Amino acid sequence: MRVPLIIYIDQNHWDKLEKVYYSKLKNDLIQDVLNKLNLLKSSNKIKIILDLQRAIETAQRTYDDSRIDLSNLMFTLSDESFVIPWVYLQDIEIENFFLRKQGKSENFIREIAIGKGFSYMMGETPEVQSDSLNSDELTLINEKLKEYYPDLMKIQFERYKNKDEQVQLEQVHRAEEARKILFQMDSDDERKQLLIEKNFIFLMRDIMNFLKLTDEKKATISDIEYATNALLASKTIPHNLKDNRKRVRFMKEFPIIYTHSTLVSFRDRDLRRKIDPNDLIDIASYAVPIAYLDVVLGEKYFITLAKQAKLDELYGCRLFSKMETFFDFLNQI
C-alpha cells in the first residue's frame, strides 16, 4: 500500500484557499489547486496537516463567517489532522539520539507528531455520548451545548487574548535585546559563528536536562541512575566538539531542534529586518514539518531562509512558497 505524502499548508495560504472555495474571490490557479488537493486526498496520495497554534488563531477570529468558513475548509481537507507543537517532541528526539547510538529501535516521531480531532477548538460543538442516559436526556444536554458552548469558547479565547499579545511583545523585546551584539560585529560570518555557539550551548543544556544531569534535575533521580546517565553521555556524545563545524554536524542529528534554531539564527542575522511579533509562531510552526514531513507550502520569507540553510536538502522536505510551483508539484504526484 502506497504511503501518502504528508503536506503542511501555512495559514496565509489557507486564507487564499478559503476565499476561492467559498467564491469570495475568483482565481483559476487556486481553484485548480483546490481541485487537485481534493483529488489526491480522495485517492490517498496525500494527507494534509494543520498546525495546532494556527488553528487556535483561527478560533480567535472575531468575524463568525471568516472563522466558520475557514475552519470548515481546513477540517474538510485535513480530516482534522494536526501537527503537535515542536517543544513537546524535543525530549523524544533527544531520546532517539541515544537509542540510535546504542543500536536500539527509535521512536517514530513522524507518527507521534500527528494528532487528530480538534474541531471544538475552532467553535465546533462537542457532543455528549452516554450509555447510562436515555435519548431524551442526551438530546437536551446536546441542545444546551449547542446553545452555550460557542459563547463559552469565545469568552475563554478573549480572556487570554490580551495576555497572549503581551507575551508576544515581551518575546520580541527579549529577541531584539539578544541580537544587539550582532549589530556590533563586522561580518556576517562572525554573527554566524556566535549563533552556532549559542545554539550548541542550548542543545547541550536540553540534553543534560533530559538526562537529569543538571543541578536542578539531579535531586529527582537516584545516585545509580545519575551515574548511569553520566556514563551514557560520556560514551555517546562526541568529545571533540570545540570546533563549530563539528558542532553543526552534531546538531543536525536533532532535526526539529536544528531546524528551529537554524531558522531563528538566519532570521536574527537579517539585520535589515525588525523582528515581527508573529515570527516565533511562524518559525515554531515550520520546525516539525520541515524536519519530518514531506511537503511544506509556506510563507516566502521563511521558506527562503530554510532553503538558504539547505534544510530541504538535509531532511528531504519539498519547500514551496508560490501556488504556481506548488501546483506543478501536485501534478507530478
pLDDT digits (tens, 9 = 90+) for 183-238: 999 999 999 999 999 999 999 999 999 999 999 998 899 999 999 999 999 999 99
Given this model, what pLDDT does residue 143 score? 72
pLDDT tens digits along 98-110: 999 999 999 889 8
Domains of the chain, by residue range, sit at: 5-332
- Of 112, 110, 92, 88, whose CA–CA distance to 4 is shortest? 110
Rounded to an integer, the average pLDDT of 288-293 is 97
pLDDT at position 333 is 95
89 sits in the region (left: phi over 0; alpha: psi -120 to 50; else beta) called alpha
| Beta-ladder partners of 320 | 297
Find out whether 48 and 37 touch, Cβ atoms under 8 Å.
yes
Residue 222: what are its φ and ψ, rounded to 5°?
A: -75, 165
CA dist., res. 259 & res. 298, Å (int): 15
| Dihedral angle computed from the Cα positions of residues 188, 301, 260 and 238, in that order, rounded to the nearest 10 degrees | -40
Residue 124's φ and ψ, nearest 5 degrees, are -75, 155
Residue keyed to cell 503542511: 8
Residue type, 212: K
pLDDT value at 69 more than 80: yes
Q: Which residues of 163-202 are buried (b: 16+ CB within 10 A; e: fewer)?
A: eeeeebeeebeebeeebeebeeeeeeeebbebbbeebbee
Contact 292, 83 (CB under 8 A): no
Cell numbers for 71, please give them: 475552519
Q: Quote the CA–CA distance of 256 and 86 in Å, as a whole number.
A: 7
Distance, CA of 98 to CA of 96 (rounded, Å): 5
Establish how many alpha carbons lie within 13 A of residue 111's alpha carbon, considering only the half-sphere containing its beta carbon. 4
The C-alpha cell 533530559 sits at: 210
Could you give the angle at the alpha carbon of 19 between the alpha carbons of 13 and 20, nearest 5°? Answer: 95
Distance CA 271, CA 273 (A): 5
pLDDT of residue 113: 87
Chain length of the chain: 333
Q: Which residue has 444536554 as its cell numbers?
A: 141
Interval 19-49: pLDDT, tens: 999 999 999 999 999 999 999 999 999 999 9
Mean pLDDT for all residues in the chain: 87
Asked if residue 296 has pLDDT above 90, the reply is yes
How far, in Å, CA of 263 to CA of 140, rounded?
51
